[in-house]
Amino acid sequence: MSTDVTAKTPAPAPPGRSGPAQGLLQAVLDGLRRNMRQYGMLIALGLIVVLFAIWTDGDLLLPRNVSNLVLQNSYILILAIGMMLVIIAGHIDLSVGSLTAFVGAFAAVLTVQHGASWPVALVLCLLVGAVAGSVQGFLIAYLGIPSFIVTLAGMLLFRGLTEILLEGQTLGPFPDGLQKLGNGFLPETGPDTDYHNLTLLLGLVLIAAVVWQELRDRRRQQEFSLDVVPTRFFLLKLTALAAAILVLTLLLASYKGAPIVLIILGALVVGYGYVMRNAVFGRHIYAIGGNLPAAKLSGVKDKKVTFLVFLNMGVLAALAGLVVAARLNAASPKAGVNFELEAIASSFIGGASMSGGVGTVLGAIIGGLVLGVLNNGMNLLSVGTDWQQVIKGLALLVAVGFDVWNKRKSGS
């Protein structure tokens, strides 16, 4: 009896397929395939910025224009954060535009007509937003009225109350402290340099924080034996994030520094991002939006979660109302028109799903920036508002179509 043992040797690598450049490219492609939903719109945002920078002969990336871009879109980004949570939970909110207008009018009545100090007005306005959101949340969560109907009624109600408060007229100006909320910048400190020192310091701190958070998330995924992106792609991602933050920091620091509203927005992104990634409340929002019956069987208090989501949306709408009123330095009956559509579009472009249960806070910011850069770039190119609406509508269709295609491809 004989045994035929055949030694198996590994097949030689095909020619031209090795080397560090090829390995890095393969890592990038593998990472993109695994995280298409997460990185698709981020890549699209980068391409849009590059294209408009070329078409406008660099005007898009001038420090003054970058600063204006942040100021002009800050309130939409604030609304997009809250709207993303609402959509993840499987609902919609059509009232946020009218609520921002009503809160701005309420702030004007308090400060201009009754002489209230701006800190008192700010607190009272946030409370008004909380009450408005909680009433709508109660009707949706505990009485079972569809969110579309409740918030549509709220849109009409708050728009009418705005007209009543302002009596159809514009009211202003606001106190200096409140104006800085929408137009102010961080104060200059330190030695006299060509850059805003405090903005540079904050930028470096932000880079360190982002790198630490990414490393921490990767380590936790490895501890739980979850799939992680290839190391080379991960390092490329860290480099790209750090470079993007550094470029933005230098642009802002070479003008007037970081706008105050950007600091507020950054705090919101960090706070809400942590809640949605790590807190029990965030996981419950994903659970009720992804599979409500299963969430109930798991002990999730879906009514309480839905109520808090709309209460939160009301507070953020109030904050956005204060920011937009402060930026305009007046309250107007026509303020906030179509803000709800911009916030909803930002969420869907940023990766939210129509069926709920999918989306990130960072995605909402990316979606809002896509729309903001489109608006700003087309204004610099003198594109008419009619064509701007067409292009933004097409962008929304492409984003939602990509979500549908991605779901079908993954079999979900």
Which residues, 6 or more positions from 242, have their beta carbon under 8 angstroms from its beta carbon? 207, 210, 211
Q: Is 4 left (phi over 0), alpha (psi -120 to 50) or beta?
A: beta
147-166 vs 118-141: helix crossing angle, rounded to 10: 150
Can you tell me the distance from the alpha carbon of 295 to that of 302, in angstroms, rounded to the nearest whole number? 8
Rg (CA), the chain: 24
pLDDT given at position 1: 44
pLDDT one digit per residue (tens) for the chain, 412 residues: 444 544 444 445 444 444 555 555 555 555 555 556 567 778 888 888 999 999 999 999 999 999 999 999 999 999 999 999 999 999 999 999 999 999 999 999 999 999 899 999 999 999 999 999 999 999 999 999 999 999 999 999 999 999 999 988 898 899 888 888 889 999 888 787 888 899 999 999 989 988 898 888 888 888 887 777 778 878 888 898 889 889 999 999 999 899 999 999 999 998 999 999 889 999 999 999 999 999 999 999 999 999 999 999 999 999 999 999 999 999 999 998 989 999 999 999 888 888 888 889 988 999 999 999 999 999 999 888 888 889 888 887 877 777 667 666 655 4
Q: How many helices (H) and strands (E) does the chain have?
A: 16, 0
Asked whether the beta carbons of 323 and 74 are under 8 A apart, the reply is yes
Asked whether the beta carbons of 162 and 341 are under 8 A apart, the reply is no
pTM, 2 dp:
0.87
Tokens 């990414």 -> residue: 214
Q: How far is CA 191 from CA 31, 195, 200, 409, in A?
A: 43, 10, 13, 56
Q: Is 382 left (phi over 0), alpha (psi -120 to 50) or beta?
A: left
pLDDT given at position 37: 58
Which residues, 6 or more positions from 16, have their beta carbon under 8 angstroms from its beta carbon? none
Task: Give backbone dihedrals phi and psi of 381, rounded to 5 degrees, phi first.
Answer: -90, 5
Sign of the Cα torsion 46, 276, 399, 34 reads positive
Can you tell me the distance from the alpha carbon of 301 to that of 36, in angstroms, rounded to the nearest whole number? 32
pLDDT 10s digits, 56-85: 999 999 999 999 999 999 999 999 999 999
